[in-house]
């Protein structure tokens, strides 16, 4: 897939080079997050170790665009996650080389199209509308929706391969998005997603939905629908967040309800962020209850560096309690 992406990207850039008054631009960027602490999710043993995604997942990326007349801009984006704890790429050993995003794009006055490995809209809205943002290790919202197994959360990864997406222009704070993916060659199927995002002054909200389906006559039937409603409002003295997610997995015969609420409050020279999430999954053989409370204090050392202390209390009914705490630094460039 990545070879096809690079060939397509090269074709776009060669075409762009033939156009007059074009402007080439590129950037190298990323997030480096390193922490040390105690990590223990409910039902698992505790570990004391270094970690690369306590506040944000560590990654590096490169983006190249070629601006043409009339607002047409072809481009290419390649990003990969980093793991400092074992000095390897990817979130795990099964991730591809470009594990975060790997796509070619074409932006125009009519919207933006992307083709390749894409982050899902459901992940976008989950990370945006919770107080702990895109913290994979400590955010209750991300933990429940994507990190607690498919009985509770959604099926599949939050990056889709062989995907194509379209985003509308911004219409007075309103943006629409569509995505389709066939998934990996080894587990081909159909994946559909859509979202509507509204940002008006101090308020922002989103409605996101996705469908994941596979029925190849060999593997177990996979058929799941999920939708999510998120919102945030900035009162000045505090910013509040709310998320509600529902899934219906026909293959596993399970329904889940996931809700989180959070707040970010300026305290002294930094910001206190807190979030609580509650998940419930029900089916003929499933009765799961999961509650997670997390809090973090962020001190902005400078414009690109944050020093933080973060903790989590994770509880699944019938399992041992999990307590995690870490101290770390996040650098953005």
Which CATH number does the domain housing residue 148 bear?
2.40.160.10
Mean pLDDT, range 144-150, rounded to an integer: 93
Confidence of residue 10 (pLDDT cuts 50, 70, 90): very low
The string of pLDDT tens digits covering residues 35-65 is: 999 999 999 999 999 999 999 999 999 999 9
pLDDT at position 187, please? Answer: 61
Domain count, the chain: 1
The string of pLDDT tens digits covering residues 151-199 is: 899 998 999 999 999 999 999 999 999 999 987 766 667 999 999 999 9
User: Of all residues in the chain, what percent are helix, strand and coil, respectively (each to 5)?
Assistant: 10, 55, 30
Q: Which domain does 261 fall in, by range?
A: 2-332
pLDDT at position 17, please? Answer: 46
Chain mean pLDDT for the chain: 92
Q: What value, to the nearest 5°, has the Cα angle with vertex 179 and ends 176 and 181? A: 175
pLDDT at position 188, please? Answer: 67
Burial class of residue 87, CB neighbours in 10 A (0-12, 13-18, 19+): exposed
For 84-189, strand residue ranges (E) read 88-89, 102-108, 111-119, 159-167, 174-181
**Element counts in the chain: helices (H) and strands (E):** 3, 18
Q: 107 with 153: CB under 8 angstroms? A: no
Mean pLDDT, range 252-263, rounded to an integer: 96
What is the length of the chain? Answer: 333
Strands 270-283 and 111-119: unpaired
Range of lowest pLDDT (105-114, 137-146, 148-157, 178-187): 178-187
Say yes or no to pLDDT of 317 above 90: yes
Q: 267 with 275: CB under 8 angstroms? A: no
């Amino acid at each position: 897939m990545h070879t096809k992406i690079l060939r397509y990207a090269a074709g776009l850039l060669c075409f762009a080079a033939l156009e007059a008054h074009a402007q080439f631009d590129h950037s190298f960027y990323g997030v480096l997050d390193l922490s040390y602490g105690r990590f223990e999710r409910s039902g698992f043993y505790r570990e004391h170790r270094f970690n690369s995604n306590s506040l944000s997942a560590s990654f590096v990326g490169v983006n190249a665009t070629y601006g043409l007349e009339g607002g047409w801009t072809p481009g290419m984006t390649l990003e990969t996650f980093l793991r400092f704890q074992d000095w390897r790429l990817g979130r795990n050993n099964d991730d591809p080389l470009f594990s975060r995003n790997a796509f070619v794009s074409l932006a125009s006055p009519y919207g933006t199209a992307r083709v390749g490995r894409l982050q899902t809209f459901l992940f976008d809205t989950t990370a945006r509308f919770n107080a702990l943002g895109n913290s994979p290790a400590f955010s209750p919202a991300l933990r429940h929706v994507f990190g607690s197994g498919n009985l509770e959360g959604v099926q599949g990864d939050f990056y889709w391969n062989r995907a194509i997406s379209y985003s509308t222009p911004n219409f007075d704070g309103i943006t629409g998005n569509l995505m389709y993916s066939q998934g990996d060659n080894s587990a081909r199927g159909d994946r559909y997603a859509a979202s509507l995002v509204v940002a008006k002054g101090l308020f922002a909200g989103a409605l996101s939905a996705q469908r994941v389906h596979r029925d190849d006559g060999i593997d177990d039937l996979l058929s799941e629908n999920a939708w999510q409603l998120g919102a945030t409002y900035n009162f000045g003295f505090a910013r509040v967040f709310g998320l509600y997610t529902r899934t219906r997995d026909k293959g596993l015969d399970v329904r889940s309800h996931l809700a989180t609420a959070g707040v970010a409050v300026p305290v002294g020279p930094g910001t206190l962020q807190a979030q609580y999430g509650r998940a419930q999954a029900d089916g003929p053989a499933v009765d799961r209850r999961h509650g997670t409370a997390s809090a973090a204090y962020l001190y902005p050392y400078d414009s690109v560096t944050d020093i933080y202390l973060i903790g989590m209390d994770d509880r699944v009914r019938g399992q041992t309690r999990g307590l995690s705490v870490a101290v770390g630094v996040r650098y953005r460039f």
